[in-house]
Amino acid sequence: MEDVLDNISRNLSRFDARAAVDVLLIAAVIYWVLLLLRGTTAMSVLRGIAFVFIGVFVFARVFDLRVLKYLLSRSFVAILIAIPIIFQPELRRGLERLGRTRRAWLGRPNYDAVIDAVTAAACNLARERHGALMVLERETGLEDYIDTGIRVDAAPSVELLQGIFFPNSPLHDGAVILRENRVVAAACTLPLAEERPRGMTGTRHLAALGISERTDAVSVVVSEETGQVSVASNGRISQRLDEARLRATLQSILGSPFARRSDGEDGRQRAPSD
């Protein structure tokens, strides 16, 4: 016991300002990684790896398995190589956030006109039971997905968006991507969600979730079967939104100066789509 206390006091005596900065930096990196993994399947994978590693370590110490202890002590390099491979999507998303060209001090674009057009068009389409998927680009560029569709480059309007998603129109099958105050492209192909939420089978909803998992874009989706309007952001979906709640949700996410919290924010969930 005295040896342990002596060891602790000896280490504390060497703890200076540089050591404190070192510990804080490591803690910040670990916290940032956990934020990236929160709510994703990668967190389950991380827990599984941790349980296996701890279990093998305890087993090797209890039974004094020298070869296994030697392998564990030399496994650090292998872990460093495996982490980028296993958690590639999450690390890429984090690096994209760090590499965004816009900064908060430059100010945010004004989305008010786009929000008005998207809200009105989505509600009109919902009343007619016409399926739709509209994606609003934010900091992360969506050029790769824009290239899969047809360039439009037009000012957003309710009539334009409703016309695109009118049944059997040439551009209705796919997503519309909006960048600031322009409709950039239509009939775009989006990635599907990595994990299919329980009970959710609609391709539009899976695509809305998929693009929100990989980027910071906001998706507005109208169900063709139920006429319900949903918003997907940051890998989560808010469903059953009326016009007022849809407008408030978009204003809150997009940072409008007149934003207010949505009354239905507790509806933000990975819920099944009807």
Give the C-alpha separation, 158 to 154, whole Å. 12
Q: Is it the case that residue 111 has pLDDT exceeding 70?
A: yes
Distance of CA 57 to the CA centre of its chain: 34
pLDDT tens sequence across 55-76: 888 888 888 888 888 888 888 7
Give the C-alpha separation, 180 to 182, whole Å. 6
Can you tell me the mean pLDDT for 98-113? Answer: 60
Give the C-alpha separation, 112 to 118, whole Å. 10
Contact 261, 248 (CB under 8 A): yes
Fold of 106-269: YojJ-like (1 (3.40.1700)
Q: How do strand 229-233 and strand 182-188 relate by DSSP bridges?
A: unpaired
Q: Is it the case that residue 1 has pLDDT exceeding 70?
A: no
Q: Is it the case that residue 107 has pLDDT exceeding 90?
A: no
Q: How confident is the model at residue 48 (pLDDT cuts 50, 70, 90)?
A: confident
The pLDDT of residue 4 is 62
Where are the chain's structural domains? 2-98, 106-269
Q: Is it the case that residue 87 has pLDDT exceeding 70?
A: yes
Q: Is it the case that residue 148 has pLDDT exceeding 70?
A: yes
Average pLDDT of the chain is 81
Q: Is it the case that residue 264 has pLDDT exceeding 50?
A: no
Helix 41-62, helix 76-86: angle, nearest 10: 160
Task: Provide CB contacts within 8 A for 186, sequence distance 6+.
Answer: 149, 150, 152, 164, 171, 174, 175, 176, 177
Q: Is it the case that residue 81 has pLDDT exceeding 80?
A: yes
Burial profile 216-226: b = 16 or more Cβ within 10 angstroms, e = fewer: bbbbbbbbbee
Q: Is it the case that residue 270 has pLDDT exceeding 70?
A: no
More confident residue, 157 or 87: 157
Give the C-alpha separation, 215 to 198, whole Å. 22
Q: How confident is the model at residue 198 (pLDDT cuts 50, 70, 90)?
A: low
Residue 31, phi then psi, degrees to nearest 5: -65, -40
Q: How confident is the model at residue 191 (pLDDT cuts 50, 70, 90)?
A: very high
More confident residue, 255 or 115: 115
The pLDDT of residue 64 is 84
Can you tell me the mean pLDDT for 132-159? Answer: 92
pTM, rounded to two decimals: 0.61
Distances (CA, A) of 96 to 99, 189, 215, 233: 5, 21, 8, 16
Give the C-alpha separation, 139 to 100, whole Å. 6
| Percent of the chain surpassing pLDDT 70 | 80
